[in-house]
């Protein structure tokens, strides 16, 4: 199975900050990488698919980049509603697999 | 807008079989690949498996042969059975649908999730 490792595991930031979350795959996954946002007690929400494609309705302050084994999710200017946990997911090979999550907290 | 709703017992005894159903409304189950995903309390996400209305199924090998996923097109439902459960199977279980008919894992539609606790 492909292992996904996110860093950092947690992050404190302020409204308006620019934040980057990193995801590394244990082998090349081309650009088959998604990002989800999850708030407490809620189902995950797909933000970005195929590394950099923004899901419909997701604000443009979210962006993704990378290829191969290294990927990033960037939030250009944090809003209060962005404080949540973020997961990367590889869809290159079955079983799909997730990073352990990055909890973004208010500083 | 398609909606998904999980249902089933919230408490299962160790060694027994966990059974959940996902009811789909606002759209037909006769397209797409329909998945089950779970999340232990305070932990990350794990894909369990998917089914297509045609009967094609795949599941996560980490669950070995304990998983059975089936579909009932007449009732617009699909179901999960997980046998020989242990405390490690305690989790919130989600059903989900991807964004396109030929997509497997890009889930844009989710149920609200149901907590299943394995305990005697």
- Find the CB nearest B105 among A1, A89, A100: A89
Q: How high is the pLDDT of residue B101?
A: 86
Per-residue pLDDT tens listing for chain B (120 residues):
999 999 999 999 999 999 999 999 999 998 899 999 999 999 999 999 999 989 899 999 999 899 999 999 999 999 999 999 999 999 999 999 998 888 999 999 999 999 999 999
Q: How high is the pLDDT of residue B64?
A: 83
Contact (CB<8Å) A49/B106: yes
Q: Which of B95, B100, B107 to mutate to test the interface with A (most CBs of A within 10 A)?
A: B107
Comparing alpha-carbon positions, the chain B residue that sits nearest to A47 is B108
Q: How high is the pLDDT of residue B102?
A: 86
A78 CB-near residues (< 8 Å, 6+ apart): A13, A14, A15, A16, A17, A18, A19, A104
Q: Which of B33, B45, B93 to mutate to test the interface with A (most CBs of A within 10 A)?
A: B45
Residue count of chain B: 120
Query: Of the candidates B41, B99, B69, which has an alpha carbon nearest to the alpha carbon of residue A91?
Result: B99
* Contact residues, chain B, for A100 at CB < 8 Å: 44
Q: How high is the pLDDT of residue B99?
A: 86
Q: How high is the pLDDT of residue A91?
A: 97
Beta bridge pairs of residue B36:
B49, B95
pLDDT tens per residue, range A50-103? 999 999 999 999 999 999 999 999 999 999 999 999 999 999 999 999 999 999
Task: Give the number of beta-carbon pairs within 8 Å between A and B.
Answer: 46
What are the C-alpha distances in Å from B48 to residues A33, A56, A75, B32, B57? Answer: 18, 26, 30, 16, 11
pLDDT tens per residue, range A17-49? 999 999 999 999 999 999 999 999 999 999 999
Measure in Å the smallest separation between the Cα of B109 and chain A Cα atoms: 8
Query: Of the candidates A78, A86, A85, A87, which has an alpha carbon nearest to the alpha carbon of residue A107?
Result: A78
* Contact residues, chain B, for A1 at CB < 8 Å: 61-62
Q: What does the alpha-carbon distance between residue A17 and residue A11 come to, in Å, rounded to a whole number?
A: 12
* Contact residues, chain B, for A96 at CB < 8 Å: 47, 104-105
pLDDT tens per residue, range A89-104? 999 999 999 999 999 9
């Amino acid at each position: 199975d492909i292992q996904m490792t996110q860093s950092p595991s947690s992050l404190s930031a302020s409204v308006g900050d620019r934040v980057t979350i990193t995801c590394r795959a244990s082998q090349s996954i081309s650009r088959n990488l998604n990002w989800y946002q999850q708030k407490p007690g809620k189902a995950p929400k797909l933000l970005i698919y195929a590394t950099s494609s923004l899901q419909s309705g997701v604000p443009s302050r979210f962006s993704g980049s990378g290829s191969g084994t290294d990927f990033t999710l960037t939030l250009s200017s944090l809003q209060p509603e962005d404080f949540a946990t973020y997961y990367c997911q590889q869809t290159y090979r079955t079983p799909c697999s997730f990073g352990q999550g990055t909890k973004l907290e208010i500083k | 807008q398609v909606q998904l709703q999980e249902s089933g017992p919230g408490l299962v005894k160790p060694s027994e079989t966990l059974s959940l159903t996902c009811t789909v409304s606002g759209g037909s189950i006769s397209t797409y690949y329909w998945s089950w995903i779970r999340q232990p309390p305070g932990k990350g996400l794990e894909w369990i498996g998917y089914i297509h209305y045609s009967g094609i199924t795949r599941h996560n090998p980490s669950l070995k042969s304990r998983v059975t996923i089936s579909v009932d097109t007449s009732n617009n439902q699909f179901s999960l059975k997980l046998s020989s459960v242990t405390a490690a199977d305690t989790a919130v279980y989600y059903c989900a649908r991807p964004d396109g008919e030929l997509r497997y894992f890009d889930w844009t539609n989710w149920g609200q999730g149901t907590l299943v606790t394995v305990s005697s």
